Amino acid sequence: MDVAGLAAANPVWVGSSELTMTLDGITACVDAGAGAVVAKSVNESAAARRQLDIADYAFVSAGGEVRAPGSGRPGDGLLNRSGLARVGLDDWLATLAAAVAHGAPRGCPVLGSITLGDPAAAARIGRALASVVPAVELNIGAPHGREARAVRQLTEVDGVADAVRTVRNAVGVPLFVKLPGQASDVVALARAARSAGADAVGLVGRYPGFLPDLDGGAVLGSWGAWSSPGCLPMSLYWVGKAFQRLDVPLIGTNGARTAKDVLRFLAAGARAVEVVTALWLGGPAALRELVDGVAGVDEGFVGSALAGTREYADVPPLPAPAWLPYTARWTSSGR
């Protein structure tokens, strides 16, 4: 299944993270069967690279139990701080070139990624990345952009359009733009990105998060970025709305842990799905399980859930009020 002309081995892609920050990490994802791999993001800021020194991770159970890195379990949410790849651009281009060469015979493209700082600098980096990778992802939805001064999160239409246009003019390969979920109208941001030259749109970035530890402090000792299985319906909302309203290939992200989750993204309109936390939890075996779980899915499945989805005003009355069993608990209690 291709995305904006980029052919991929399958729709299960590995998103940008510390897992794709080295050649060994990228090739491990390729060898585990990824459809495509997005390398760790870079930008022009030394501060963004230094932020990697304070990267930290906490897995949080549905019951609120906080688990240290390496001890997360299926179903946990992930609260973290992160930084960008700490490497010079020339060295990073050499790493990407080697990764692309490894992935190509396996049908697995390796993409370069930029987390936005200054748009003009992003354009220069994008031009360099495009000399070695088949596509570039521009992340303007990083949740750390609300806390880290070295990266930006754009939530206004004009800002999205200006940044995408600047990078688009410098990049001669497909440009994929990853958008935040924190906006009043994410579809409007996707429309602006598409109009400014995005070949595909990723929906949506992770959410800002904060968790007091109830001992007078906070988990991680700071604000962070949050993803969990509970984010899945929120991400699918924007994927489905964008599929209905726009003509642009979509890449789903934020909330997919299982093959069933990936299938739900595809049914909502995504052509590919980026996963990260599933690999933190399960390693390469988790990726193989996801790939096997979506084998045989064809083009006709993409967006299939939208055919029977109605606006509220078009939903027919239900045979019986769905709230009735809940209120009956109170009215039958004898009070």
- Tokens linked to 86: 């700490």
The answer to whether 61 and 73 are in contact (CB under 8 A) is: yes
The answer to whether 290 and 312 are in contact (CB under 8 A) is: no
SS3 193: helix
How many residues appear in the chain?
Answer: 335
Written as one string, the DSSP assignment of 17-58 is SGGGSSHHHHHHHHHTT-SEEEPPPB-S-HHHHHGGGG-EEE
pLDDT tens for the 335 residues of the chain, in order: 799 999 999 999 999 999 999 999 999 999 999 999 999 999 898 877 888 888 999 999 999 999 988 899 999 999 999 888 888 999 999 999 999 999 999 999 999 999 998 999 999 999 999 999 999 999 998 888 777 777 888 889 999 999 999 999 999 999 999 999 989 899 999 999 999 999 999 999 999 999 999 888 999 999 999 999 999 999 999 999 999 999 999 999 999 999 999 999 999 999 999 999 999 999 988 999 999 999 999 999 999 999 989 999 999 998 888 888 888 777 755 55
Kindly give the pairing relationship between strand 77-81 and strand 56-60: antiparallel
Rounded to a whole number of angstroms, the distance between the first and last alpha carbons of the chain is 59
pLDDT of residue 333: 54
In the chain, the largest separation of any two C-alpha atoms, in whole Å, equals: 75
In which element (H, E) is residue 170 found? none
Q: How far is the C-alpha of 139 from the C-alpha of 41, rounded, in Å? A: 8
pLDDT of residue 324: 85
Q: How far is the C-alpha of 143 from the C-alpha of 206, rounded, in Å? A: 6
pTM for this model (two decimals): 0.94
Q: How far is the C-alpha of 319 from the C-alpha of 263, rounded, in Å? A: 30
pLDDT of residue 284: 87
Question: What is the CATH class of 12-331?
Answer: alpha beta
